[in-house]
Structure 1
Amino acid sequence: MSPPIRFDSAEFAENDAEEIWREGIDAIFEIQRPKDPPAPFRAKMESWALGGMLLMSHVVGGDVEFQRTRRRIATSGIDHYLVHCLLDGTLMSTFGRDTQQVPLGSVVMRDLVVENIGFTRDAPMLTLTIPRQAIDRRTGGALRMHGLSWDPTDPIGVLIASHMRTLASVATAMDDEQALVAGEATLDFIAACVLRRAERWAESGDPRLTPVIRAQALSYIEGNLADTSLGPARLREILKVSRTALYELFEPMGGVAEYVRARRLDEAMRRLESPLHARDLIGAIASAVGFMSESTFNRVFKERFGCTPTEARGRRAGGVFTGFGVTATGNGAGHPDDARGVGAMTAAKIRDLRA
């Protein structure tokens, strides 16, 4: 298999090491660390590609907040599940009004379309990063998986944790075919465990409500955001489903209108942050994603992101909310020059995952 991607902060100057580490994590989260941490920055990461998913062993010292914000959800281009196995230290998460303290040795799932804030303190863990469709096509989708967990006394949790540890211990020795087999088997195993534990959003007996139809609906929406007629009637016509079936298909997402509006706003944010659209007028961007009124666009954009489109573009131009540049060249002890790109390589691996 491809060589694992490894990072050890001890091999770099402290400031360079943190920049490289941030660039890898920045693909998913906005990071907050204390301004004056009591100890020097230290972190290690190692990741292996296993077919269509990524296994990562990682730890960062001290206190860290990992924020999956609405802005990051809109602009990251990542739609994955995370499966964490906590090996030591402290891990907790807040989402909505809920706070989840993760017991040592337990396994917990995160859905990256859910806004949440994770907090770690000296917490080595193993993480599987899995594209949404890889799980959904095995389970039928429409499952509430964010926050799903197995504690250390749960036999299924023990099996998942043991399996993840075993994968990490043998991944480097696998060839490409073995990595693919291990990845597919792991996905089947995780999906089977999820089906026994997760709550499914209620659906009718309409046989057309399948993952295939769901994927077709989402794909059609993505390709037609500029169409001002995009809505329930148009989708029923395209998908050949009943009003009730369409409602139940989109009920987990807040309904058709809410989902379409959210995707339009997310695409607008992506364009505002993209250098390719730096010269586009804000009104042109609003029109390109299906808003007929610029004033309406400005209002709902601020409701979703907490800033105006002009402010969002200005923050990008000022260097806020962008990725972190990598300038490290190692500690002078024969460290290869391309090691400074390990953060970017990790981020690219995460973004490129496909079911």
Structure 2
Amino acid sequence: MRGPNLRLEGSTFGPRTITAWREAVAPFWDVEIRREDTRDFRGRSDVYHLGNAIIGLTAASALRNERSPGLVARMGVDHVAAQVRLEGRATLAIGGREVAIAPGDVSLLDLAQPLSMRSTDYRAMTVIIPRALFPDGGTRLGAAHGTVLRGATPFGTLVNDHLRSLAANVPRFSPAEARAAAQATAILMAGAAAEGDALERPMQRAPVFLAIRGYIDAEIASSDLGVERLCRRFGVSRSGLYRLFAPMGGVAEYIRRRRLARAYRDLAEGGERTARVSEVAYRYGYGSPASFTTAFRAEFGASPADVRAKTGLAGAPAVRRPPAGLPDGGWDDFYEWVLLLDA
């Protein structure tokens, strides 16, 4: 591969190994393992940067990965992932529902939404692609979050074979070949979004649901954004709107959580002048900083002031460095790789 690549390895080094693993995958996962398994934890991950995608080849001991609402908001990663399970089994949990994943199955994940996954000892290949690379801008992938494409089905076999071939050949791709391969994978994933067993597939009217969700994100700071406004704009009944958002706790709950996620990002990103907690509270419809702080702490386990304090001295903007142009990088660069994927 004529571009950056990373390797993280671990063996029986006890807590030092699992600590290094947690730090390396922190942009995507909070990692948990049983205390009694800490000493015997083993893991290895080879990661390749294709310019417009990232490919990870991972093998590890049994563990639990979670993307909590706080981590999703904190990291601000708005990409889509597909993972083929090469060996071992897993249970994927989204919104209180669970689905089993077997060797050969492919799971589709929207990294802008929470999830958790429990795995046995496993090997897996994961491809991460920016939403803009998809033919439809990745909107269908948001609705297909948690879809599991079964490896035993004809289309599942096609996707499985493609991802395995991608994993086998990625170390030898030229830069041009790497980008073309990522584009082809995005097209295939867009087709896969219409297949499989989805954990979150409540909507018979997926285009309406996606349009409403996009409108909510665009108008998230509007004080009158709510059920009545959405019903009028999209011509749906209150009961129909509730059915569309039922797996997310209803439309009011979805709006509340999106506002809190946006507030987290506003406080964490900093800038030339870091917003005051009170400014952010009023911006997203809270009547007082106290009520905002209570809701924020319940959602993320930290206060708005704590998040704001971590933005740096005097709210100085964070400096994002491009990936190193050398054949090998360090794991400190991994998050920068993810943020700077281009389409």
TM-score by length of 2: 0.74
- Amino acid across the alignment from 1:42: R
Matched, 1:350 2:343: no
Preserved CA contact (<8 Å) 1:87 1:126: yes
Looking at structure 1, the residues matched to 272 and 285 of structure 2 have their Cα atoms a distance apart, in angstroms, of 16
- Please report how far the alpha carbon of residue 66 of structure 1 lies from its aligned counterpart in structure 2 after TM superposition: 0.7
Preserved CA contact (<8 Å) 2:11 2:40: no
> Counterpart in 2 of 1:42?
42
> Counterpart in 2 of 1:124?
123
Preserved CA contact (<8 Å) 2:12 2:41: no
Distance 1:37 1:276, change over 3 A: farther
Equivalent pairs: percent with the same residue?
22
Looking at structure 1, the residues matched to 39 and 223 of structure 2 have their Cα atoms a distance apart, in angstroms, of 54
Distance 1:143 1:128, change over 3 A: same
Looking at structure 1, the residues matched to 335 and 156 of structure 2 have their Cα atoms a distance apart, in angstroms, of 28
The range that moved more, 177-186 or 134-143, is 134-143
> Counterpart in 2 of 1:5?
5
Looking at structure 2, the residues matched to 200 and 136 of structure 1 have their Cα atoms a distance apart, in angstroms, of 23
- Please report how far the alpha carbon of residue 146 of structure 1 lies from its aligned counterpart in structure 2 after TM superposition: 2.7
Distance 1:195 1:117, change over 3 A: closer
Looking at structure 2, the residues matched to 166 and 102 of structure 1 have their Cα atoms a distance apart, in angstroms, of 20
Preserved CA contact (<8 Å) 2:64 2:117: yes
- Please report how far the alpha carbon of residue 58 of structure 1 lies from its aligned counterpart in structure 2 after TM superposition: 0.8
Preserved CA contact (<8 Å) 1:55 1:129: yes
> Counterpart in 2 of 1:202?
204
Looking at structure 1, the residues matched to 158 and 206 of structure 2 have their Cα atoms a distance apart, in angstroms, of 33
> Counterpart in 2 of 1:330?
none
Preserved CA contact (<8 Å) 2:110 2:142: no
> Counterpart in 2 of 1:161?
160
Preserved CA contact (<8 Å) 1:4 1:172: no
Looking at structure 2, the residues matched to 112 and 245 of structure 1 have their Cα atoms a distance apart, in angstroms, of 30
Q: Can you list the C-alpha shifts for 1:185-217, whole angstroms capped at 9, x where unaligned?
A: 111122123224465833399xxx697x67973
Matched, 1:98 2:100: no
Preserved CA contact (<8 Å) 1:143 1:200: no
Looking at structure 2, the residues matched to 216 and 37 of structure 1 have their Cα atoms a distance apart, in angstroms, of 43
Preserved CA contact (<8 Å) 1:107 1:150: yes
Tell me the secondary structure at the aligned position of residue 37 of structure 2.
coil
Preserved CA contact (<8 Å) 2:82 2:108: yes
Distance 1:231 1:106, change over 3 A: closer
Distance 1:278 1:40, change over 3 A: farther
- Please report how far the alpha carbon of residue 256 of structure 1 lies from its aligned counterpart in structure 2 after TM superposition: 6.3
> Counterpart in 1 of 2:281?
286
TM-score by length of 1: 0.72
Looking at structure 1, the residues matched to 280 and 2 of structure 2 have their Cα atoms a distance apart, in angstroms, of 40
Distance 1:38 1:52, change over 3 A: closer
- In structure 2, runs of 5+ residues without a counterpart are 312-326
**Bigger relative CO (Cα 8 Å, ≥ 6 apart):** 1
